[in-house]
Amino acid sequence: MSTGQQIVCGHCGKINRLPADRSPDAARCGSCHQPIFTGHPIEVDEAGFERHVAHNDIPLLVDVWAPWCGPCRSMAPMFERAAEALEPTVRLLKLNADTAPTISSRLGISGIPTLLLMQGGRELSRISGAMDAQKIVAWTKAGLARS
Nearest Cα residue to 139 out of 120, 117, 122: 117
Report the SS3 class of residue 104.
helix
The contacts of residue 79 (CB under 8 Å, 6+ apart) are 41, 63, 92, 94, 133, 136
* Position 95, amino acid: L
Nearest Cα residue to 39 out of 89, 2, 112, 96: 89
Kindly give the pairing relationship between strand 5-8 and strand 15-18. antiparallel
Gap between the Cα atoms of 139 and 75, Å rounded: 15
* Residue positions annotated with a catalytic role: 69, 72
Gap between the Cα atoms of 45 and 35, Å rounded: 20
